Structure 1
């Protein structure tokens, strides 16, 4: 299938997003250019601008897609610990999305699709804290949510940077996170595992 034919069938946007994710995974978001993206996708250098206007528009689309996938990944988790596991798994499976999502300077903060996707992801994150008993949440549920988010995000960031490879000692990231969360939250609710 030629690029022109894919474009007329509506596939070019997806092709460009996939090429952008590959480029980000290889070199990080700072190295991404629309010209390189067009080369990777085998289209004219004007094609990415047609769909995304500019680099910021492209990265905004990557972030919006990432938050949508992220919300879906969190939605199936039955409790706060498993939401943390889903958070870590999402980061490991979607490292390019993860890098862009949490760098607000890379995208347009007022983009409607991004705002809607972020809102869904935020609701899924908050739902895990809302399920905690009052004793485990403490007086401030918002701070409990920040603590849980910090734990999962910090773990995921360390994982993606390669800083945990020796510390995991052969455990899967999900298993290590479950253990870590159990150690930390056991002091609050008496659950160790």
Structure 2
């Protein structure tokens, strides 16, 4: 693939765009500021005006990824809580399947200390929309109670695991479509508040199990 040469303009953005393309091709291990400079046709020192080292570049890519994910979430259409959660889950799954290497950078624990705040802020901003959907639904009695962050993390874990299956070839496209639909539907349904009778039955079952459990 021929890499477009850089012309006068926003060098920082050009480096990030080329770095993200390279990330898809070689993964984070293959990224190099000198190689990016060669690809863009600039001096070897030019990218260092914006990124002091490779880690600074990876941190900027993480912020860029969270920003794009946040835009995906923010543009989700309105509807019932179940419909909105389903759409948010589909958008996250699509992003994870399309950007596996970028996602790994986004959730890496290796961000430099000076970038921790900017990466964390970008992540918090990205996930504000889905967490707000859950929290507001809980306030209206349309979703079962619980920590919205933990609920959101559970949904993310399911979608990211499914994306890993797809990207590794463990499941094919047809199976992935069916499994994704079922998984997303179950996630959305799991948010529905328990009916009063169901809640009482659950509580009674837990008490019965506690009573029957042998003492230690």
Verify the 8 A CA contact 1:83 1:128 in the aligned structure 2.
no
Matching of residue 123 in structure 1 with residue 122 in structure 2: no
Deviation digits for residues 68-94 of structure 1, max 9, x if unmatched? Answer: 001111112241121111101122333
Change (3 A) 1:58 1:141: closer
TM-score, reference length from structure 2: 0.71
The gaps in structure 2 that reach 5 residues or longer are 79-83, 194-216
Query: Matches of residues 1-193 of structure 1 in structure 2 within 5 Å?
Result: 3=6, 5-6=7-8, 9-10=9-10, 12-77=11-76, 78=78, 79-105=84-110, 107-108=111-112, 110-111=114-115, 112-133=117-138, 134=141, 136-165=143-172, 168-169=173-174, 172=177, 176-186=179-189, 189=192
TM, length-normalised to structure 1: 0.78
Deviation at 1:188, TM superposition (A): 6.0
Q: Residues of 2 paired with 1:131 and 1:148: CA distance?
A: 17
Q: Which runs of 5 or more structure 1 residues have no equivalent in the other structure?
A: none
Q: Which moved more, 1:55-64 or 1:87-96?
A: 87-96
Q: How many aligned residue pairs are there?
A: 181
For 2:190 and 2:21, the matched residues in 1 are separated by 42
Q: Bigger radius of gyration, 1 or 2?
A: 2
Q: 1:188 to 1:118 in 2, by over 3 A?
A: closer
